[in-house]
Amino acid sequence: MAFFKGKLGNPATDAAAVTPNDATDLSGVAQALYIGVGGDVQITTAAGNTVVFIGLVSGVILPVRSKRVWVTNTTATSIVALY
């Protein structure tokens, strides 16, 4: 759990379902993403880099600050942004 702001005592305070979109950022920078149904996920990081995570399993938390989840190259579903 150390991925939330680098401290165990700082978990997410909000969450929202994600609809992947190639043109629109999330409503804010997510601390992490919960992957409900596994697959690949393409994101834009808070630093502005675009990367594809391949083969994520169902139920994993992806501990990368993300500002966009792309529909392109994303096969995972039931994604939840943790803020």
Q: What is the pLDDT of residue 10?
A: 80
On whether residue 57 sits in a domain, the answer given is yes
Q: Name the residue range of residue 29's domain.
A: 15-82
Residue 7 forms part of a structural domain: no
Distance CA 9, CA 7 (A): 5
The pLDDT tens digits for 2-22 are: 444 555 568 999 999 999 999
Question: What are the pLDDT digits (tens) for 27-72?
Answer: 999 999 999 999 999 999 999 999 999 999 999 999 999 999 999 9
pLDDT of residue 1: 40
pLDDT at residue 8, as a whole number: 55
CA-closest candidate to residue 36, choices 68, 83, 76 = 76
Q: How many domains are there within the chain?
A: 1
